[in-house]
């Protein structure tokens, strides 16, 4: 593999472009508006510069990596990519439309990967005529820091595709771990109900934001409390994942907390909007 396409320059997409370019791949990064691309490229510059200051990469490596990233608003630029990693918003209709278009314009052997947090890989693959080449490649946030990639096979994903994605993950300096296609996979099937429960605790007045996070940090040796983590992930993403778990598994224990629904409606999405459970302004 030489050329990687990344769809969506948001929280995850810019991180995926960042690690791919640093690992010497040619990267094409696409979003729907120039302002999102600019914001994504600003994040990549800032995050790589932080690595330069920490001396984990040199300024020369940073400059070369940035030069390997091409940005575009036009999906046809993915035609000659070896793999396209989709990291657009967590919305089944958006992903369905993207995969239909990718299937039409990419070369026959291009692998189509999705970074979805919870949507069925098998259902996403059904929008294409190459379900054997569709796979989940679930990076963790923040991408440049976190080691895990959860690799999820859809029902029809073939061995070659899974092996290529495992090998690519390792080239990106990550540790791939495979699991099967079930709502939320492993990571969000377990993490998101915990975050949702922390929001219920806040809504019911069991404790304040800081106390909930401190109890979980100090008591469970978590690096970050669940409410701060929800802010980092994005409350809209958390809600979308809870809705998938609730709808697909059909168990009321997965119902999204009303306070989470209300905060998303108000546009308080966490770090990316400047306000969530904490204030980032």
Question: Is position 136 an interface residue for ligand NAD (rule: CB under 6 A)?
Answer: no
CA dist., res. 158 & res. 108, Å (int) = 14
DSSP-derived 3-state class of residue 153:
strand
* Options 28-36, 47-55, 191-199, 213-221: segment touching ligand NAD (CB under 6 A): 28-36
Q: Is the dihedral of CA 9, 13, 19, 24 positive or negative?
A: negative
Evaluate whether 82 touches 110 at the Cβ level (below 8 Å): yes
Minimum Å distance from CB 121 to ligand NAD?
Answer: 12
* Given 81, 83, 152, 233, the residue binding ligand NAD (CB under 6 A): 233
Question: Is position 29 an interface residue for ligand NAD (rule: CB under 6 A)?
Answer: no
35 to 54: interface string for ligand NAD, x by CB under 6 A: -x------------------
Question: Is position 135 an interface residue for ligand NAD (rule: CB under 6 A)?
Answer: no
Q: Which is nearer to ligand NAD, 53 or 147 (CB)?
A: 147
* Given 13, 176, 184, 226, the residue binding ligand NAD (CB under 6 A): 13
DSSP-derived 3-state class of residue 111:
strand
150: β partners: 138, 177
DSSP secondary structure letter of residue 257: P
Token pair belonging to 159: 């061995």
Positions in 235-264 near ligand NAD (CB under 6 A): 237
Residue with nearest beta carbon to ligand NAD:
10
* Given 110, 116, 161, 164, the residue binding ligand NAD (CB under 6 A): 116
* Given 4, 6, 7, 27, the residue binding ligand NAD (CB under 6 A): 7
Question: Is position 9 an interface residue for ligand NAD (rule: CB under 6 A)?
Answer: yes
Evaluate whether 70 touches 77 at the Cβ level (below 8 Å): yes
Q: Which is nearer to ligand NAD, 115 or 127 (CB)?
A: 115
Token pair belonging to 155: 């029902």
Per rule CB under 6 A, count of chain residues that contact ligand NAD: 27
**Closest alpha carbon to 26 in 74, 72, 82:** 82
Which letter, b or e, does each residue of 41-76 get, where b requires 16 or more Cβ atoms within 10 Å of its Cβ?
bebbeebbeebeeeeebeeebbeebbebbebeeebe
- Contact residues toward ligand NAD (CB under 6 A) are 7-13, 30-32, 36, 87-90, 94, 98, 115-117, 138-139, 141, 233-234, 237, 272
């Amino acid at each position: 593999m030489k050329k990687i396409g990344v769809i969506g320059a948001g929280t995850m997409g810019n991180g995926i472009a960042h690690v791919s370019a640093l690992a010497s791949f040619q990267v094409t990064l696409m979003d729907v508006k120039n302002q999102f691309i600019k914001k994504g490229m600003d994040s990549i510059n800032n995050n790589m510069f932080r690595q330069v200051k920490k001396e984990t990469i040199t300024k020369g490596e940073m400059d070369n990596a940035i030069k390997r990233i091409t940005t575009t608003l036009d999906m046809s630029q993915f035609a000659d990519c070896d793999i396209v990693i989709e990291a657009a918003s967590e919305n089944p209709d958006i992903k369905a439309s993207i995969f239909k278009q990718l299937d039409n314009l990419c070369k026959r052997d291009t692998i189509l990967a999705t970074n979805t947090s919870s949507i069925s890989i098998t259902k996403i693959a059904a929008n294409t005529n190459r379900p054997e080449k569709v796979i989940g490649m679930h990076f963790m946030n923040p991408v440049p820091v976190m080691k895990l990639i959860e690799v999820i096979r859809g029902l029809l994903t073939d061995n070659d595709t899974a092996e290529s994605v495992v090998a690519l993950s390792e080239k990106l300096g990550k540790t791939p771990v495979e699991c099967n296609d079930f709502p939320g996979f492993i990571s969000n099937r377990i993490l998101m109900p915990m975050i949702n429960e922390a929001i219920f605790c806040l809504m019911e007045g069991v404790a304040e934001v800081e106390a909930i996070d401190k109890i979980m940090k100090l008591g469970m040796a978590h690096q970050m409390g669940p409410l701060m983590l929800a802010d980092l992930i994005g409350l809209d993403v958390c809600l979308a994942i809870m809705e998938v778990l609730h709808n697909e598994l059909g168990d009321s224990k997965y119902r999204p907390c009303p306070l989470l629904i209300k905060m998303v409606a108000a546009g308080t999405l966490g770090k990316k909007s400047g306000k969530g459970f904490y204030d980032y302004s």
